[in-house]
Amino acid sequence: MPLHPVMTGENVHLARLRRENLPQIIRPFANLELTTYIGGRGWTASEAEQAEWLDKNLKNPADGMLFGIYDFGETLIGGVDLRGIDYRTGTAELGIALYEPEIWGGGYGSEAVRLICQYGAFHLGLHNIMLKVFGFNVRAIRAYEKVGFREIGRRREAVRLGQERFDEVYMDLLTSTLDLSALRRQIRQLPALD
């Protein structure tokens, strides 16, 4: 089945997940390093759990929007989502996972975050997007800052890994800081901004 990108950046596409993506999703979620970054509980997901998760997410819930992150060879390299969308207040929470450690730090994550934030601002009317990240995940914090996220607080020593404790860092982005001109150009009938 051909990929139908919703958003395209310089290195990645955001597109809906497809049922045939299941094998590409199963293997990464057996990687304890990845699952530690996204949940911190040292769990891995079985094939059945991942299939159930995929089936549930092939239809976005009313308060969420999930996209696969695909490289230009149309290989699924991760997922990014907006969850807890509150259309009345224009707020949501962001989550992201890049599946392969070899591509971490290569700019794919920050580009995918920028694209979904632009999508959320332009198409969903979001004004404030928040995320949580573990304090030891310096690479992720730098990637979020590159997009425009700022730290808004910390829940001190809220994460335990082994016998160590780490802060949970809260960051947010005001979408008014995003450049939405490329999205405006896609809708050809919109009048130009002065």
Q: Is residue 194 part of a domain?
A: no
The confidence score (pLDDT) of residue 189 equals 66
Q: Is residue 122 part of a domain?
A: yes
Q: What is the DSSP string of 136-154?
A: T-HHHHHHHHHHT-EEEEE
Of all residues in the chain, what percent are helix, strand and coil, respectively (each to 5)? 35, 35, 30
Which residue has better confidence, 154 or 190?
A: 154
Q: Is residue 193 part of a domain?
A: no
- The pLDDT tens digits of the residues spanning 76-94 come to 999 999 999 999 999 999 9
What's the whole-number mean pLDDT along residues 175-186? 88
Parent domain of 56: 5-186
Q: Is residue 117 part of a domain?
A: yes
Percentage of the chain with pLDDT > 90?
Answer: 54
pTM for this prediction: 0.89
Q: Amino acid identity, residue 186?
A: Q
Domain count, the chain: 1
Q: The CATH number of the domain where 17 resides is what?
A: 3.40.630.30
Q: Is residue 18 part of a domain?
A: yes
Q: Is residue 191 part of a domain?
A: no
Q: Is residue 16 part of a domain?
A: yes
The confidence score (pLDDT) of residue 59 equals 79
Q: Is residue 17 part of a domain?
A: yes
